[in-house]
Amino acid sequence: MVAEALAAGKPLKTAPETVVAIGSADYPTPAARPANSRLDTTLFRDTFGLRLPHWQEGVRHVLQQIF
């Protein structure tokens, strides 16, 4: 997503190569986090007949709206 913002010509204080993915266990928080805490949207989809976009599509959409 950093690369997409840069491609859109937006100045950022970071570069894609400086962003490093880490696991939840590697990020200290007051509360313990499960290894896999994705939200199950099956009930929502079945009830309302809607498909939520993949999270990356959602982030991309927000970036397009704010840039």
Q: Give Cα separations from 58 to 2, 31, 50, 64 (angstroms).
A: 14, 26, 15, 10
Q: What is the pLDDT of residues 18-28, one digit of tens each?
A: 888 888 778 88
% of residues, the chain, pLDDT over 70: 100
Answering whether pTM is above 0.85, one says: no
Q: Give Cα separations from 47 to 22, 41, 54 (angstroms).
A: 34, 10, 19
Helix (H/G/I), strand (E/B), else coil: 53: coil
Evaluate if residue 46 carries a pLDDT over 90: yes
Q: What is the pLDDT of residues 26-35, one digit of tens each?
A: 888 888 777 7
